[in-house]
Amino acid sequence: MIYPTAADWAASARKRVLLFGMSGLGKTHVASTLRGAGSWFHYSVDYRIGTRYMGELIADNFKREAMKVPFLRELLMTDSVYIASNITFDNLAPLSTYLGKPGDPAKGGLAFAEYRKRQDQHRTAEISALLDTPHFIGRAEDIYGYPNFICDTGGSICEVVDPEDGNDRVMKALSSNLLMVWIEGSEAHTGELVRRFDRAPKPMYYQPGFLTEAWESYLAETGCTESTVDPDAFVRWTYARALAHRQPRYAAMAANWGIKVSADEVAALRDVQDFDALIAQAIARN
């Protein structure tokens, strides 16, 4: 680790941290708190994916839908309107909407082949956005004068790296530049995330092998065909399985490449001083 001891962390004039874990456990909240303190640069991997790497795909999808409306089609064909994604750190809906859900097109579902294509696009984009992190560390200090750096990753980071491979290029690039910190949730947190997702199911990225197995199992269990699958029902059915699939991968990332803190500890943070103290404690525990 780049901070071998709590004393090294406390003495460092340049604190660089990457947060990972299930979405909904406080990564973006912590990053926003640190950014608000004025001395931390906030790098959002999902924002980078949705702007630099998938922004054109997202905008083209908007235009494709708009072309189905005669009134908008005429305006687009004459360059009379401009259609773009208004993605922000706090609103990543354009990215998740593009990813979509597979199933019945009458219910907004995508053909499974198209869905897999978009999943593959996201995987490539996420790896690129993660590998951009060292560049942004330098950029943040060189241009803006930020000595400290927080990388806010998406929940799917564990799906695009191999935490058991000591030569994994993404993990090596990240861990040599930042302290890798897992925000670990409890069973109670997982239950609440499942209930929250059930109320508002959202698209997400899955590892290819996991997705194929889940899709085939769902079709066999329900007797649905590709075109009759309820998209929301499928992602609800898959969500808890995806969390269970990810948990050991997060744990391996922390064990082999970083440290861990609990979601309850993160929820109690009030300011930068609390964050510094928590990280020092976690390094000492490690």
Chain mean pLDDT for the chain: 95
Mean pLDDT over residues 211-219, rounded? 97
The model's pLDDT over 119-144, given as tens digits with 9 standing for 90+, comes to 999 999 999 999 999 999 999 999 99
Please check the confidence at residue 82 and state whether its pLDDT lies above 90.
Answer: no
Q: What percent of the chain has pLDDT over 70?
A: 100
The model's pLDDT over 172-211, given as tens digits with 9 standing for 90+, comes to 999 999 999 999 999 999 999 999 999 999 999 999 999 9
pLDDT at 286: 85
At what angle are helices 55-66 and 70-77 packed, to 10 degrees?
120
Alpha carbon of residue 263 to chain centroid: 17
Token output for 113: 């082949």
How buried is 222 (Cβ within 10 angstroms: 0-12 exposed, 13-18 middle, 19+ buried)? middle
Q: Which CATH architecture has domain 6-281?
A: 3-Layer(aba) Sandwich (3.40)
Please check the confidence at residue 5 and state whether its pLDDT lies above 90.
Answer: yes
Please check the confidence at residue 84 and state whether its pLDDT lies above 90.
Answer: no
Please check the confidence at residue 90 and state whether its pLDDT lies above 90.
Answer: no
Please check the confidence at residue 88 and state whether its pLDDT lies above 90.
Answer: no
Q: How far apart are CA 161 and CA 169, in angstroms?
A: 8
